[in-house]
Amino acid sequence: MFKRALVSMDLSPATEALVAGLPGLRDYGVEEIVLVHVAKPVTYPVSQSIAEVDLVRQRLGRLQASLEAQGFQVVVDVPIGAAAAEVAREAEERAVDLIVVGSRSHARIRDAFVGSVAWEVVRRSRVPVLLKRIEASRHDPEGALEIRGSGLPEKVVHPTDFSEVAERAFPWVLGMARAGVPNFTLLHVHAVGNDEGRAEGRVRLEALAHQITEAGATNVEVEVRGGTAAEEILNVGGRDYHSLVIMGTQGRGFLPEIVLGSQSRQVVRQASATVLLVPSAEPPR
């Protein structure tokens, strides 16, 4: 599915948790990792700014050595500028096919959030963005952070409105089946009371389910529901950190303007699952 992944790092405490989960990217086919930390523009005194960048490079160098010891090819870069713009530029210049961003949550509030930089990365990206959920440790809620779920998920949830954009996410769903994920839930949400839409949705989902079964999945469920799309995504598996939600961006009304729309933010904000957002780009090789 993926070969080269860019990992955006802010070197906050969440970074350690994110790095701890990176070996699981091997299950997605990743062989090469680009570690990127975007430094702030140089300020006076210049010597202090240079020293700070040197410290960042040293820290990333240690992370690089750790990942290389686990068999990955690793490149480190510390560009200077606006974070999201530089991440998008690095992704394009280095021809990565996946961007990985940490999605952190408040220990006290228990409601996940993705910061403005992450949303801007999603908006700018021409390749899929994997949002990895980072939580406070179950054993020490006020202490260390940890990744919930690493490697391939136990289940993939794929919401679709059957638009062209939504269909562009489907090859990655098939890729998960070929990689060995056994369980899938396909979801279509229609307007309450639209019986015709319900019947049509089920027929189309069952056709997709057949393709997933042919790709190797052992358990494919079809869900056609009336209601709010974001809430139904959470209900069928988005709240389970063993799951992966795969959805296209900017679908027609199902998740309108996903990178900016309130429903998409609700999914990512409240989901415990990892979320893979697939933009309007080329399908996976």
Average the pLDDT over 183-206 and give the result: 87
How far apart, in whole angstroms, are the C-alpha atoms of residue 98 and residue 30?
Answer: 9
pLDDT at 113 exceeding the cut of 50: no
Higher pLDDT, 124 or 195: 124
What is the torsional sign of CA 193, 197, 201, 203? positive
pLDDT at 200 exceeding the cut of 80: yes
CA nearest 168: which of 266, 258, 246?
A: 246
List pLDDT tens digits, range 77-111: 989 888 889 999 999 999 999 999 886 644 333 33
Please report, for the chain, the start and end positions of each structural domain, with discontinuous segments joined by +. Answer: 4-147, 155-278
Q: In 204-235, which positions are buried (b, 16+ CB within 10 angstroms) versus exposed (e)?
A: bbeebbeebeebebeebebbbbeeebbbbbbe
Task: Strands of 137-284 (E only): list them.
Answer: 145-147, 155-159, 183-190, 219-226, 243-248, 274-278
List pLDDT tens digits, range 224-233: 998 888 889 9
- Mean pLDDT estimate for the chain: 81
Fold of domain 155-278: Rossmann fold (3.40.50)
Helix (H, G, I), strand (E, B) or coil at 170: helix
List pLDDT tens digits, range 118-175: 778 888 888 999 988 776 655 554 445 555 566 899 999 999 989 888 888 999 999 9
How far apart, in whole angstroms, are the C-alpha atoms of residue 100 and residue 5?
Answer: 7
Q: Which range, 6-10, 102-106, 111-115, 263-267, is most confident?
A: 6-10
User: What kind and span of H or E run contains 8?
Assistant: strand 4-8
CATH superfamily of 4-147: HUPs (3.40.50.620)
